[in-house]
Chains A and B, each alone.
Chain A
């Protein structure tokens, strides 16, 4: 939050740095909304708040500090760990975070999935962020051994009539 507030001060002075600042403001929802509406209504403005700038890492901190409960990011359900915000920014534009969270893969298969999305689903080049995202996914969503058949799980036993 501290970082965001400093950035807010800069924003007033320098409209030219809008690109980077839009991201930094994401913690301040009200202001952010006005900016986003403004931007959406003026598509000619430079909008490339590149997800690969260092600034996007800064947003992560701001947003994270607000929306995490019991280690889970409330808005997305992602496990709060290094690389989460970059993952959110790059992986939830087209599809639900739930689609990521449901899946369990090793590094090779997460990369393969990213390639498939780049080849067929219009996913952009992730640049340096790819390493961060894959590391986050492998650390938090690795394959789980389930064997050929698991025990049945019953959470609520109930009396049959």
Chain B
């Protein structure tokens, strides 16, 4: 019966793609292939996303909003980018869901039901910025491998859950703990159940931060299933890939976690800067931790025409990984002069900050409005694409929109 179900669900997929290759695929892979069945339908309906999001990839699912989609202060689900390394799990039962804490550096191995986690530990809510390490990859030259994110792989939602540190303290962590690594329920693209699509983690100090959550709610509702329902690790300010979705296990390690996508070029950059296109040895690559300072103009949408004499109000968000943004500036003359905008404090640490400015254009013509944020350590966004790296991470170049005054 299970097999029949799989066949009927994948009928469309077989019709849509090369029949020969689908048969090769079907022959070599297990029953769990039927997971794919659910991933065939309209992704906008399936994931409740705004129709304006671009589909970067449909296997695995990757979708990206445009800058003006991210205008809300707290991003709502329809505008949140979708990033998957593997296949979205389809068999999720919160009533039987468990989280196990194990690893070399725990005093005991302990398993909690979801209900236990919710009842035993205090709940906290934070607005946290989650940005894909590869946000902005599309601008690197020579081009770098992976989904070609433009500027939209970032958002700030409100997350509710229990503190990871409270749970780790309940389990008992040995003093030699270095890192935590997550394990989750998503399925490797090849269908090989022995492989994990991704298993990343964070240093123990980040795991012990107050804002690092085992979250079960996003924006006061159950986490949408494509974003990790029923349980997700959320560590704001770090590359989004550390915030493991569909969380089943956390291993407390006595070494840097060595799970899938912790090594090679994945989420790592050269420890010392390299020229564009240079080969970098494995040993010379360092794991990305805090994300760099960055900002987005979310209003108006690029391409606006305004009449001469009218003032233009711009607004957007700025964030700086583990740090706070201390200054927000804009330029309408390609970076020759900069003026300050109004910048608000974050609603909590690791939340993005909102800025606005009122612009008076001197005469008619074509303008670009550039936005530049500066963090609390004095670092600001570059105007051109920053240092090349093999996988095209950390492009925090100034965001630009085009405006015509007529």
Which A positions have Cβ atoms within 8 angstroms of B? 22-23, 25-26, 29, 32-33, 35-37, 39-41, 43, 47-49, 51, 56, 59, 63, 75-76, 85, 88-90, 92-96, 98-99, 102-105, 109, 113, 116, 121-122, 143-150, 152, 154-160
Per DSSP, chain A at the interface is loop
When distances are taken between beta carbons in the complex, the residues of chain B under 8 Å from A160 are 300, 304-306, 310, 312
Measured CB to CB, the closest approach of chain A to B54, in angstroms, equals: 10
The stretch from B10-18, B100-108, B205-213, B350-358 touching chain A is B10-18
The residue that A47 contacts in the complex, of B15, B27, B148, B397, with Cβ under 8 A, is: B27
B309 within 8 Å of A (CB atoms): no
List the A side residues contacting B56 at CB < 8 Å: 98, 102
How distant is the Cα of A69 from the Cα of B397 in the complex, in angstroms?
A: 37
Q: A149-B397, A154-B402 are in contact. Are A26 and B60 (CB under 8 A)?
A: no
Beyond the given A29-B15, A89-B21, A121-B188, could you list 14 further A-B residue pairs with CB under 8 A, ordered by the A residue number?
A26-B20, A40-B7, A43-B27, A56-B20, A75-B17, A88-B17, A89-B24, A93-B25, A102-B56, A152-B402, A157-B304, A158-B301, A158-B305, A160-B305
The CA of A149 and the CA of B24, in the complex, are separated in Å by 43
On whether the beta carbons of A146 and B20 are closer than 8 Å, the reply is: no
Residues of B within 8 A of A (CB): 3, 6-7, 11, 14-27, 55-60, 139, 141-143, 145-148, 188-192, 195, 264, 300-306, 310, 312, 368, 383-385, 397, 400-402, 404
A-B contact count (CB 8 A): 156
17 contacting pairs across A/B (C-beta < 8 A)? A32-B19, A33-B15, A35-B23, A36-B22, A40-B3, A40-B23, A89-B24, A93-B21, A93-B24, A94-B189, A94-B190, A99-B147, A102-B148, A146-B139, A148-B385, A152-B402, A160-B305
> B8 to chain A: closest CB distance in Å?
9
- Residue of chain B at shortest CB distance from A149: B384
Residue of B6, B142, B189 touching A121 (CB-CB under 8 A): B189
